[in-house]
Chain A
Amino acid sequence: MAHAQAAAGHGAPVHATSTGTDNRKLLMWLFLGSECLFFASLIASHLVYRSRQLVPPFPFESEIPIDVYNGLSETVKHMCEDLGNGFADCHGILDIPVTSTSTFVLLFSSLAMVLAVYGAQNGRPMMMKGWLLATIIAGVVFLGFQVYEFRLFAMEGLGLSTNQFGASFFVLTGFHGTHVGVGVLYLMSMLAASFRRNGLGPETGFHIEIAGLYWHFVDIVWIIIFTVVYLIPV
């Protein structure tokens, strides 16, 4: 109680908080907690739906009865091959090497973000700007990979209405991509603002650190999505 009363002095700084953590940082942490439940719901939906495909394209290689094969529309029939034993073999649509590459790019962006925060907190504005730019470029490259992947899947015949894998895959990875896109806009705003006469002001390190929290969260979620969607077979 004694120290609490000492803090009541009139000269207490504006930003003094009960826990010592800045309000804005606490807000970001609580928001990210909420985001965990958001992605958890999307991933759970994907887990429920991804093994309930009636028609290809399937995420992983699978066999289907020949009468199902014969009833397929031409847009997806090319994915499968009649084995002649009453079954048809359909190849999986996921291209793991390509997505591993984009995953690596996104993981690299987290390293770049760490270095940008280091630069911002240690009074090295050029280091901060350079690594912010690198983070942004890596984020955009990741989004480019995602556009490429979506286009490829669409050309192979996978749409939102094709099967439950398509619906839950596009909604899950689409919302993750949207988060990366918002992060890119966020970091670009920070980078642009840092070129103003006063830069980001006396709290530069703090602002970049908060942006970094968001960026790292989006990356961590991708690690889980990549593992669950691409690496663990149905």
Chain B
Amino acid sequence: MATTAGTLPQYATNTGLWSWITTVDHKRIGTLYLFTGFIWLLVGGLEAILVRTQLAVPNSTVIDADLYNQLFTMHALTMIFLAIMPMTAAFSNWLIPLMIGARDVAFPRMNALSYWLYFFGGIFLSSGFLFGEAASSGWFAYAPLTTNQYAPGRGMDFYTLGLLILGVSSMVAALNFAVTIINMRAPGMTMMRLPVFIWMTLVISFLLFLALPPLTVALIQLMFDRHFTTHFFIVDGGGDPIMWQHLFWVFGHPEVYILILPAMGIISEVLPTFSRKPLFGYAAMVFAAVAIAFLSWAVWSHHMFTTGLAPVPRAIFSANTMLIGVPTGVKIFNWLGTLYGGSIRFTTAMLFAVSFIPLFTIGGISGVMHSSPPIDSQHQDTYMVVAHIHYVLVTGALIGVFSGLFYWFPKMFGRMLDEGLGKWQFWLFFIGVNLAFFPMHFLGLAGMPRRIYTYDAGLGWDFWNMVSTIGAYVIGVSVLVFIWNFFKTMSKPMDQPNNPWGAPTLEWATSSPPPEHDFDVVPVVRARDPLWYDRDHGLEQPQPTGHEHIHIPPPSYYPIVMSFGVLLMAVGVTTSLAVTALGIPIVIYSVWGWALEPTS
């Protein structure tokens, strides 16, 4: 079935460490993304628990101010770049080929490259902790806190170079996903029949490869400021700290939608399956996402209302920001429309998906509040903003990831996660997030600034800080329940049928877990929700007609070699430029080796 081609032999059995290091199979890479992302989720969660422990009582001295700064900075970076984005990329990797009826992504080796860049980039970004000097200027790293004068040591170098590596990783993945979705759809899979999750992935792929370059340029300029004597963001030499904010948020605001749209896609798959009716307003759902993506380019300055923008830009950015609430509202009502009249099954995946709707709406509404400049200038740099981002990213993006994990676990691993433990996890999580994040609204309105490492008693902040810390611990317990559930489930035999949920999309047409080549025969798509259409019209997917040659891309070690070369180039900047010089030929060697490696 599989051919022997390429530099490495095709293994009869795909086991062992080497097979994982050289794999180009989108499902295995997806699994790697999932596990690596989950480990980083635990690291980021631990950082958050430490932060909340410090803030539990006034005048606390659990950790000192410097470590506190590193922890809140790294918490944000870890959760955004190392946990949520990769875990949504795990779903994209797993599901794009399965949902569009392809055998793999368009560029399997590039897929491996994006994972290994992420793997090394994540370690590099966080390695500052090993030297006691992780980045500590906040995740958006405003100048002049990042200059050599105010950020001596290597913390900001881990930040700039780590994010550059992770940016290349995301670029590679986004280009690959976009080409795959546009170009490798099964017969009959028109664009307006794509599952909504795939549409969301396509939209964020475009956002990623268009939004990352401004961040890349900002990071390069920061690196030049720190190492090559320029003054891009240093006022003394004529530089402009506000320019950093513009470049960062031109990336940073689309980034917010890059984090949330995949979660919206996941629940747009989960809600119809467990309501047993098609998604309400499919076309409106797709166009709303495209409208959100388009508008996300014209709202970045709402992060900068207090920097002294002129009234006209303030008004325009404020109006644009409010406008983005319209397509988002369209999505919320369409989810409600999907639930309405449905024959609902409250599985754990469904509970997470349903709770997304009200909780994300809370975050969305506080976002509309911030879009008004006079109100924003009161909220700026208070816990109100912290509450907003956590309602959007934890009870939005992360809740979507958990919903997806429960939903697709049978497809990925052939086993069903325990529903009893799942419901325990859900309710602990639901209570925990609201305990942790809702009081932050009160704290913010009571004037508590973000990023302070301790506070005096008697300011009216004591009670709600304690409540918030208890909430953080409850979230921690819910994640432990999930880990317990995972190990318990994995010890059971693989017993799941192709389509345990009775779901409508193509990934459920193949076995659980799918064979290496995904589909024995390329599926045929006759309508949106193809499996329901086939079921209702008594149709069958085509069956294998005998021996068919299926081309499987051979494994390759060039992706990890190239990623290692890139890592050396970054390590050199923090140690000795000789290491950088060593990395460059490794990258060039692997480009040539890659280009000349036979793949068929």
Interface-located stretch among A31-39, A108-116, A225-233: A31-39
Residues of B within 8 A of A17 (CB): 183-184
Query: Measured between C-beta atoms, what is the minimum distance from B489 to chain A in Å?
Result: 37
Which residues of A are found within 8 Å of B224, using beta-carbon distances?
Answer: 160, 167, 171
* B597 at interface by CB-CB < 8 Å: no
Task: Please determine whether B237 and A49 come into contact, CB atoms closer than 8 angstroms.
Answer: no
Q: Which of A18, A21, A49, A54 contacts B185 (CB 8 A)?
A: A18
Chain B residues near A35 (CB-CB < 8 A): 213
Bitwise, B527-570 to A at CB < 8 A (1) or not (0) is 00000000000000010010010010000000000000000000
A163 and B212 contacting across the interface, CB-CB below 8 Å:
no
CB–CB B175/A31 < 8 A:
yes
Q: Which of B178, B212, B237 has the most CB of A within 10 A?
A: B237
Q: Answer yes or no: A197 CB below 8 A from chain B CBs.
A: no
Tell me whether B214 and A41 are in contact (CB under 8 A).
yes
Question: For chain B residues 38-86, which have a beta carbon within 8 Å of chain A?
Answer: none
- Known A5-B187, A23-B107; contact A171-B213, beta-carbon cutoff 8 A: no
What are 14 A-B pairs at a CB distance below 8 A?
Answer: A4-B190, A8-B188, A10-B548, A17-B184, A18-B183, A23-B183, A27-B106, A37-B213, A38-B213, A38-B217, A41-B217, A41-B250, A49-B240, A168-B232
When distances are taken between beta carbons in the complex, the residues of chain A under 8 Å from B486 are none
3 smallest A-B Cβ distances: which pairs?
A38-B213, A161-B229, A41-B217
A18 and B182 contacting across the interface, CB-CB below 8 Å:
yes
Which residues of A sit under 8 angstroms from B524, Cβ to Cβ? 5, 8
Q: Would you give the shortest CB distance from B284 to chain A, in whole angstroms?
A: 23
Beyond A17-B183, A163-B238, A164-B238, whether A189 also contacts B217 by CB under 8 A is no
Contact mask for chain B residues 102-124; partner A; CB cutoff 8 A; 1 contact, 0 none: 00001100000000000000000
In whole Å, how far is A199's beta carbon from the nearest beta carbon of chain B? Answer: 13
Contact A30 B522 (CB under 8 A): no
B28 close to A (CB within 8 Å): no
**Contacts A45-B243, A167-B224, A171-B221 given: A23-B229 contact, CB under 8 Å?**
no
Closest chain B residue, CB of each to CB of A34: B209
Closest to B100 in A: A18
Contact A23 B179 (CB under 8 A): yes
B185 to A: closest C-beta gap in Å: 5
CB-based contact B212/A34 at 8 Å: yes
Contacts of B350 in A (CB 8 A): none
Q: Does B592 contact A (CB under 8 A)?
A: yes
With A30-B175, A31-B175 already in contact, the answer to whether A45 and B183 are too (CB < 8 A) is no
Contacts of A34 in B (CB 8 A): 171, 175, 209-210, 212-213
- Decide if B247 is an interface residue (CB 8 Å cutoff): yes
Find B230's partner among A7, A38, A160 (CB 8 Å cutoff): A160
Cβ < 8 Å to B, chain A residues 155-206 = 159-161, 163-164, 167-168, 171, 175, 185, 189
- Tell me the complex Cα distance, A14–B526, Å: 22
A15-31 Cβ-contact flags toward B at 8 Å (1 or 0): 00111010100110011
A124 at the B interface (CB under 8 A): no
Task: Please indicate the chain A residues that have their CB under 8 angstroms from the CB of B380 in the complex.
Answer: none
Interface string of A25-63 (1 = CB under 8 A from B): 011001101110110111001001100111000000000
State which residues 206-227 of B face A: CB under 8 Å: 209-214, 216-218, 220-221, 224
In angstroms, how far is the closest chain A Cβ from the Cβ of B552?
A: 12
Chain A residues contacting B186 (CB-CB under 8 Å) are 8
**B239 on the interface (CB 8 Å rule)?**
yes
Interface string of A83-107 (1 = CB under 8 A from B): 0000000000000000000000000
* Pair B182/A26 contact, Cβ less than 8 Å: yes
Q: Is B18's CB within 8 Å of the partner chain A?
A: no
**A161-B237 in contact given A26-B179, A41-B247, A171-B220 (Cβ < 8 Å):** yes
Which residue numbers of B lie inside 8 Å of A, CB to CB?
106-107, 171, 175-176, 178-179, 182-190, 209-214, 216-218, 220-221, 224, 228-232, 237-240, 243, 247, 250, 522, 524, 526, 542, 545, 548, 551, 588, 592, 595, 600
- Distance between Cα atoms of A5 and B210 in the complex (Å): 35
Q: In the complex, which residues of chain B have a beta carbon less than 8 angstroms from the beta carbon of A18?
A: 182-185, 189
Extra contacts besides A27-B106, A27-B179, A33-B209 (18): CB < 8 Å? A5-B187, A8-B186, A8-B187, A8-B522, A14-B600, A18-B183, A23-B107, A31-B175, A37-B210, A49-B240, A159-B229, A160-B224, A161-B231, A164-B237, A164-B239, A167-B224, A171-B220, A171-B230
Q: Are A1 and B522 in contact (CB under 8 A)?
A: no
Q: Is the CB of A52 within 8 A of B178?
A: no
Contact B175 A4 (CB under 8 A): no
Chain A residues within 8 Å of B221, by CB: 45, 171
Which residue in B217, B243, B548 is a CB contact (below 8 Å) of A42?
B217
- Given A159-B229, A161-B231, check contact A30 B178 (CB 8 Å): yes
Q: Which of B187, B243, B522 has the most CB of A within 10 A?
A: B187
- Chain B residue contacts of A14, Cβ below 8 A: 551, 600
Which residues from chain A contact B522 at a C-beta distance below 8 Å? Answer: 8
Judge whether A52 and B238 touch: CB under 8 Å: yes
Alpha-carbon distance A45/B214, docked complex (angstroms): 10
Q: How far is the CB of B276 from chain A (nearest CB, A)?
A: 26
Assess A189 versus B595: contact at CB under 8 Å? Given A27-B175, A164-B231. yes
Contact, CB under 8 Å: B526 / A1: yes
What CA separation (Å) do A164 and B239 show in the bound complex?
7
Is the CB–CB distance between A1 and B188 below 8 Å?
A: yes
B contact residues around A42 at 8 Å (CB): 217
Please name all residues of chain B whose beta carbon is closer than 8 Å to the beta carbon of A175 when the two chains form the complex. 220
Q: Using CB atoms, name the residue of chain B closest to A22.
A: B183
Closest to B523 in A: A8
Q: Do B187 and A19 touch across chains, with their CB atoms under 8 A apart?
A: no
Give Cα distance in the complex from A19 to B185, angstroms: 9
- Please report the C-alpha to C-alpha distance between residue A52 and residue B209 in the assembled complex, in whole angstroms: 31
Known contacts A8-B522, A33-B210, A160-B229; A19 and B237 CB within 8 A of each other: no
B183–A21 touching, CB < 8 Å: yes
Across the interface, which residues of A come within 8 angstroms of B228, CB to CB?
160
A185–B589 CA distance with the chains assembled, in angstroms: 12
Q: How far is the CA of A8 from the CA of B541 in the complex (A)?
A: 12
Nearest chain A CB to B523 CB, angstrom units? 9
Beta-carbon contact of B184 and A161 below 8 Å:
no
Q: How far is the CA of A168 from the CA of B237 in the complex (A)?
A: 13
Q: Which of chain B's residues have a CB closer than 8 A to the CB of A10?
A: 545, 548
Q: Are A38 and B175 in contact (CB under 8 A)?
A: no
B212 to chain A, nearest CB (A): 7
Cβ–Cβ contact A189 & B592, under 8 A:
yes
Q: Kindly state the separation between the CA atoms of A201 and B449 in the bound complex, as whole angstroms.
A: 64
Given that A26-B182, A27-B175 are known contacts, is A45 also in contact with B232, CB under 8 Å in the complex? yes
A38 touches B216 (CB 8 A): yes
Do A167 and B220 form a contact, CB below 8 Å, given A18-B185, A34-B171, A41-B214?
Answer: no
